[in-house]
A = this chain, B = another copy of it.
């Protein structure tokens, strides 16, 4: 099939080129609000009804995955997959331990000490979708940073099958990460439970993880007033930057790996010549026939794009404007190119760093901002599970030293009680 191609588009066309496939989700808002309200009011009883209705699961015995289910899951996961998960676990753990922030302590004036300290968020909730593909890799990407951050009270929610079971790979990965509290809860009702609390689930301080549009809408709503959320979310996307040093067969493979995620995924190739554009396109058509999710891929290729730009600066500017979730730099001097990028979720350098490496096992987190949110939101990491708090201590001399400035500013802002709080101490 033909992929949309544009050669040296004028700046005026960029706005339309960076647009994502539009998502209409206002139609589901009312339904999601109903679920949120119902769970808030009726707690576990509402959760049981929704699990019956949406997942077909009868959970009269409770939502928590039992010790027996954990043991059973361990038996069901094949050994070679356990080895693969162990490799991923080790790399993700190493990279995330290195992210632990250090305390900062500065004497700003004589007798005035300021401290910035990062502390773990106390109660966190992780959501891992089930459905067609059990995303046990997401379990690692959420549980490892939460554990490294030192969060005390971590729960994981994941939808059960119609038999009332959570996916064994998900249970296995969570248990490997030291998780004790895994709940069989999915969809907007799981988000409602974590945001508002029920008899079984204690209300969370922050909620993390991907999900379908109902989950996303629920997170968006509770995030406005109830509980912090990790980031806004949209369909997955990749941008590949390529020049004559790239391998068209590799680029094509990265394109297709993105497109198999879902019909609303988007892949963008930005390259320096039409020759590369055509070589990649023909590779895509060749490789596509060998893949199992061809129908999904064909749909998402409909909104994929190939864009030829005249030079590296224009390519970097376009990448920053688009702000891709994943950015593969298959170019000469890829690190110099990466230096120009400030708006991407995660960057993949050179010909041997496919996006799937970061999705699973290189060590970086695969929870990343989509839909241009990489202009302002961070990749998920240990700090996403912590909060920065400041502390200050002034000695009497310290307060005497800066007290005059505080009083002058407070009075100029019309706040004389602020000034009085200094005077009460200095005059004492």
Contact = CB atoms under 8 A, between A and B. Distances in A.
A228 B291 CA distance: 38
A223 B249 CA distance: 40
A357 B422 contact: yes
Contact of A361 (B119, B232, B375, B405): B405
Contacts of A416: 260, 291-293
Interface string A365-394: 100000001111111010100011111111
Given A94-B108, A376-B121, A421-B257, A402 B116 contact: no
Interface in A50-99: 80-81, 83-85, 87-88, 90-92, 94-95, 98-99
Which among A114, A134, A373 has the greatest number of chain B C-beta atoms within 10 A?
A: A114
Interface residues of A, number: 130
Given A95-B106, A228-B376, A388-B381, A293 B250 contact: no
A287 interface: yes
Interface in A85-136: 85, 87-88, 90-92, 94-95, 98-99, 101, 104, 106, 108-109, 112, 114, 116, 119-123, 132-136
A376 B253 contact: no
A408 B358 contact: no
A355 interface: yes
Given A347-B389, A356-B418, A425-B351, A98 B104 contact: yes
Q: Name the 9 nearest CB pairs between A and B, nearest first.
A: A228-B376, A108-B363, A84-B408, A349-B393, A378-B388, A87-B405, A91-B108, A84-B405, A253-B421
Interface of A: 80-81, 83-85, 87-88, 90-92, 94-95, 98-99, 101, 104, 106, 108-109, 112, 114, 116, 119-123, 132-137, 169, 205-206, 220, 223-225, 227-228, 232, 247, 249-250, 253-254, 256-257, 259-261, 287, 290-293, 297, 320, 334-335, 338, 341-365, 373-379, 381, 383, 387-396, 398-399, 402, 404-406, 408-410, 412-422, 424-425, 428
11 contacts: A84-B408, A85-B405, A98-B116, A106-B363, A119-B341, A121-B376, A224-B224, A259-B417, A338-B391, A354-B421, A359-B418
